[in-house]
């Protein structure tokens, strides 16, 4: 795709930064302060840090990272429960790699594996179906974390398990939805945001209509943005333009990837197997109907119904990931950052995940 | 977690396609992109194609951006 090479044209990037700075100044003259934008998606946080945009715009546009990494928003108790789940007899636990090093109250999945538990990292949840077929006398459980991007693939996996009539397969659903958490963020008094850079990949599945509530309920503008440097800058530019013109709407600035209506095949498959469930978010407690879980008729694939796991209240640490994912503090404000908490010895998920805000700051934003 | 990688479709077999991801060949599920054709670019997430990249829109969006920034199309 030749034209996509243009996205890294350095001259265009320089001009784009100048254009963004011009608008940021206009906003500042109008409002007497810098604009505050939240990038909801963890991949955006990483891309912003990596491209240098976050540093370059620091004094002009406040970019705050939001709750858009499925690993980071997983509540401590849920992590403890997943680790506890590995303790049962004849079990194979399958997971995405990012979950392995996330510390629970006592240890991580990685440490559980070292102690001999059968825990396997898979690239796709569908790979865990194969493992279930090959191990009929074991229970195979997939740790189903993820947002709207991943949920259709979980639905597809259940579809396969059903087709193959697997009796030893289930998914531990801890999925999260973008809309409910943004509603909670916008309703809380301590969060002040002028606009949103909306997640490119979630939007592939859900489409632009998924964000109309921002306009209707909160008079909040948003731009669906891609991940290249130019696309990030274009997203900021467009949102600043909306703010300056005092227009409230949602712009799809990632049209070549995101269709306005989303992906209907994926949406239908999700609806077939799952319905809304309450989910606990790190640092935000339980948000009603903020995730998807199995419908009753598919209970045989629901690991939460199949296996009873009881865990106590998690051990308190000084980790402030709960505030990080609400955009209340930056990683440098956590006393553990870059001291006892580093990617090699992470204390919270925001330092573990490849899209975690603390990991992004550690890699690209540290002052040396 | 949600990393998506672009891939080019080489051949199609029922519910999967042979794709090229930066020189590496692999299979990807295509159940979510029913209209996919050979030579299309798709975005993969966890082994599944989630969307077809629209070349026309890709071209338009970069042009639109150039014009916005430069005041002219170069
Ligand atoms: S695509 Fe969604 S889940 Fe993935 S990093 Fe972005 S917001 Fe998070
Ligand atoms: S630096 Fe570490 S301990 Fe502090 S908030 Fe981030 S992940 Fe948690």
Chain B residues closer than 8 Å to A234 by CB: 61, 65
Closest ligand 2 atom to A350 CA: 7
Summarised one tens digit per residue, pLDDT across range B1-42 is 556 788 999 999 988 999 998 889 999 999 999 999 999 999
- For residue A184, CA distances in Å to A40, A67, A285 come to 13, 11, 11
Q: Residue A8: closest CA among chain B residues belongs to which residue?
A: B62
Distance CA B15, CA A319 (A): 44
Q: Do B2 and A43 touch (CB under 8 A)?
A: yes
pLDDT band at residue B68 under the 50/70/90 scheme? confident
DSSP string, A308-352: -----PPPP-S--HHHHTTTSS-GGGSTTBTTTB-SSS-SSHHHH
The verdict on the CB of residue A360 being under 6 Å from ligand 2 is no
The verdict on the CB of residue A235 being under 6 Å from ligand 2 is no
Which one of A124, A257, A265, A354 makes the best mutation probe of the B interface by having the most chain B beta carbons within 10 Å? A257
Label residue A289 left, alpha or beta by phi (over 0 means left) and psi (-120 to 50 means alpha): left
- Chain A touched by B72 (CB under 8 Å): no
Q: Residue B53: closest CA among chain A residues belongs to which residue?
A: A257
Summarised one tens digit per residue, pLDDT across range A175-197 is 999 999 999 999 988 778 999 99
The per-residue pLDDT for A281 is 93
- Mode of pairing for the β-strands spanning A91-95 and A119-121: parallel
The verdict on the CB of residue A243 being under 6 Å from ligand 2 is no
Closest ligand 2 atom to A335 CA: 4
Q: Residue A266: closest CA among chain B residues belongs to which residue?
A: B32
Chain B residues closer than 8 Å to A354 by CB: 1, 3
Confirm if A99 and A122 have CB atoms less than 8 A apart.
Answer: no
The verdict on the CB of residue A348 being under 6 Å from ligand 2 is yes
Closest ligand 1 atom to A70 CA: 3
pLDDT of chain A, 368 residues: tens digit per residue:
555 556 677 888 899 999 999 999 999 999 999 999 999 998 999 899 989 998 899 999 999 998 988 888 998 899 999 999 999 999 999 999 989 988 888 889 999 999 999 999 999 999 999 999 999 999 999 999 999 999 999 999 999 999 999 999 999 999 999 999 999 999 988 778 999 999 988 999 999 999 999 999 999 999 999 998 999 999 999 999 999 999 999 999 999 999 999 999 999 999 999 999 999 998 888 999 999 999 999 999 999 999 989 898 888 888 999 899 888 899 999 999 999 999 989 999 999 888 899 999 999 877 65
| A8 alpha carbon, distance to own chain's centre | 25
């Amino acid at each position: 795709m030749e034209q996509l090479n243009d996205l890294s044209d350095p001259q265009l990037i320089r001009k784009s930064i100048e254009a963004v700075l011009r608008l940021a100044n206009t906003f500042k003259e109008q409002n007497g302060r810098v604009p505050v934008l939240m990038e909801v998606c963890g991949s955006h946080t990483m891309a912003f840090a990596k491209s240098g945009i976050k540093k370059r715009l620091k004094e002009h546009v406040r970019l705050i990272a939001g709750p858009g990494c499925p690993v980071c928003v997983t509540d401590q108790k849920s992590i403890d429960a997943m680790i506890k789940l590995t303790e049962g007899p004849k079990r194979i636990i399958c997971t995405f790699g990012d979950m392995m090093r996330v510390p629970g109250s006592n240890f991580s999945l990685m440490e559980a594996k070292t102690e001999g538990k059968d825990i396997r990292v898979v690239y796709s949840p569908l790979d865990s179906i194969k493992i279930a077929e090959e191990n009929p006398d074991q229970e195979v459980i997939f740790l189903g974390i993820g947002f709207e991007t991943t949920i259709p693939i979980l639905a597809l996996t259940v579809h396969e398990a059903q087709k193959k009539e697997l009796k030893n397969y289930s998914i531990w659903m801890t999925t999260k939805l973008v809309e409910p958490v943004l509603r909670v963020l916008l309703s809380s008094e301590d969060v002040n945001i002028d606009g949103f850079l909306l997640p490119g990949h979630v939007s592939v599945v859900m489409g632009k209509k998924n964000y109309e509530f921002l306009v209707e309920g909160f008079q909040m503008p948003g731009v669906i943005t891609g991940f290249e440097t130019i696309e990030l800058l274009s997203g900021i530019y467009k949102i600043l333009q909306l703010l300056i013109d005092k227009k409230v709407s949602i712009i799809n600035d990632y049209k070549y990837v995101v269709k306005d209506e989303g992906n209907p095949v994926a949406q239908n498959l999700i609806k077939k197997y799952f319905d809304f469930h309450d989910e606990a978010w790190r640092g935000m407690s339980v948000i009603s109907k903020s995730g998807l879980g199995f419908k009753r008729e598919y209970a045989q694939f629901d690991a939460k119904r199949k296996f009873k796991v009881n865990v106590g209240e998690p051990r308190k640490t000084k980790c402030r990931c709960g505030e990080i994912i609400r955009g209340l503090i930056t990683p440098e404000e956590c006393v553990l950052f870059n001291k006892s908490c580093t990617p090699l010895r992470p204390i919270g998920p925001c330092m573990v995940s490849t899209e975690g805000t603390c990991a992004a700051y550690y890699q690209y934003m540290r002052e040396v | 977690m949600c990393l998506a990688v672009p891939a080019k479709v080489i051949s199609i077999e029922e519910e999967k396609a042979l794709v090229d991801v930066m020189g590496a060949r692999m299979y990807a599920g295509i159940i979510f992109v029913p209209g996919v054709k050979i030579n299309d670019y798709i975005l993969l997430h966890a082994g599944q194609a989630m969307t077809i990249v629209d070349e026309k829109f890709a071209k338009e969006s970069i042009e639109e951006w150039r014009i916005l920034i430069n005041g002219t199309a170069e």
